[in-house]
């Protein structure tokens, strides 16, 4: 199984009512993605999670960030228990655009595990992959910040980073195949996806390559097929 996370970030093109349009596109692309053994996810803004989980129950919705605070009198934080009640099935943590201290990453992964939710811990380099793998998240995503939004993919520009991250992960986890390596940043076509798979990634995170595309369904399908070649 390969994992394909669409991170809509705070792009206005996919916010408010347009978040429904993106979820529709993911739903339409799902049958073909499934044939390619690819699971699709949408990492949506907190404001959209509850509505999307109701209108699109077949789409796996993740939060883009969660705070380690607990439920109750904790104003303004994105609390894992409330995210779960809102329909989120997991969350990104420590995205390059929303970095948090290691302690909060560890607490976030622990809270998500306790709630039966999935965690996608983001790392900027292979050293960080090795350090954060110790928390045994569901996924670790290697994303070099300088390539995010660049249209030049990590698998083309920094193939070494994927192989080094795979090695870091294996060094920490040994033969326990628990945490899955994903990669992201600059992925725009099926060649980038095929290359990422060849280098050892078992999934991708994509934002602008989809959000900025004219045809979201076509782009999602085309990237998903990159795993099957």
Q: Does 149 bind ligand G3P (CB under 6 A)?
A: yes
Window of 46-54, 106-114, 162-170, 207-215 that interacts with ligand G3P by CB under 6 A: 207-215
Q: Does 148 bind ligand G3P (CB under 6 A)?
A: yes
Q: Does 205 bind ligand G3P (CB under 6 A)?
A: yes
Cα–Cα distance measured from residue 63 to residue 90, given in angstroms and rounded to the nearest whole number:
6
Structure tokens at 175: 């033969």
Integer-rounded Cα radius of gyration of the chain: 16
CB of 210 to ligand G3P, least distance (A): 8
CB of 221 to ligand G3P, least distance (A): 17
Q: Does 183 bind ligand G3P (CB under 6 A)?
A: no
Per CB under 6 A, the list member of 7, 8, 86, 91 interacting with ligand G3P is: 7
Tell me the catalytic residues: 95, 143
CB of 155 to ligand G3P, least distance (A): 12
Q: Does 128 bind ligand G3P (CB under 6 A)?
A: no
102 close to 134: Cβ distance less than 8 angstroms:
no
| Interface map 54-93 toward ligand G3P (x if CB under 6 A) | ----------------------------------------
When CB distances to ligand G3P are compared, the closest residue is 208
Across the strands, what pairs with 140?
Answer: 121, 181
- Closest to ligand G3P by CB, 69 vs 224, is 224
Q: Does 6 bind ligand G3P (CB under 6 A)?
A: no
Main-chain dihedrals φ then ψ at residue 111, nearest 5 degrees = -65, -40
Q: Does 226 bind ligand G3P (CB under 6 A)?
A: no
Per CB under 6 A, the list member of 144, 186, 203, 226 interacting with ligand G3P is: 186
# of chain residues touching ligand G3P (CB under 6 A): 14
DSSP string of 130-198, one letter each residue? HHHGGG--SEEEE--GGGTTTSS-HHHH-HHHHHHHHHHHHHHHTT---SEEEEESS--SHHHHHHHHH
Cα–Cα distance measured from residue 153 to residue 183, given in angstroms and rounded to the nearest whole number:
10
Cα–Cα distance measured from residue 130 to residue 118, given in angstroms and rounded to the nearest whole number:
19
Side-chain half-sphere of 220: how many Cα atoms within 13 Å?
Answer: 29
Among candidate residues 105, 97, 104, 167, the one with its CA nearest the CA of residue 138: 105
List residues binding ligand G3P (CB under 6 A).
Answer: 7, 95, 143, 148-149, 184-187, 205-209
């Amino acid at each position: 199984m390969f994992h394909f996370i669409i991170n809509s970030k705070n792009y206005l093109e996919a916010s408010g009512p347009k978040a429904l349009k993106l979820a529709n596109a993911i739903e339409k692309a799902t049958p073909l993605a499934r044939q390619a053994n690819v699971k699709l996810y949408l990492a949506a803004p907190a404001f959209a999670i509850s509505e999307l989980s109701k209108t699109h129950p077949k789409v796996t919705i993740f939060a883009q960030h969660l705070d380690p605070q607990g439920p109750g009198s904790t104003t303004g934080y994105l609390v894992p228990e409330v995210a779960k009640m809102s329909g989120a099935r997991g969350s990104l943590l420590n995205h390059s655009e929303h970095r948090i201290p290691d302690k909060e990453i560890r607490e976030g992964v622990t809270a998500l595990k306790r709630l039966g939710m999935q965690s996608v811990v983001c790392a900027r380099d292979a050293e960080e992959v090795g350090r954060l793998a110790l928390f045994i998240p569901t996924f670790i995503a290697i994303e070099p910040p300088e390539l995010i939004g660049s249209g030049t993919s990590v698998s083309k520009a920094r193939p070494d980073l994927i192989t080094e991250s795979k090695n870091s992960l294996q060094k920490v986890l040994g033969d326990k195949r628990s945490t899955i390596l994903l990669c992201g940043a600059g992925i725009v076509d099926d060649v980038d996806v095929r290359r990422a798979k060849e280098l050892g990634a078992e999934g991708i995170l994509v934002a602008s390559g989809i959000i900025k595309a004219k045809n979201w369904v076509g782009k999602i399908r085309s990237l998903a097929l990159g795993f099957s070649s």
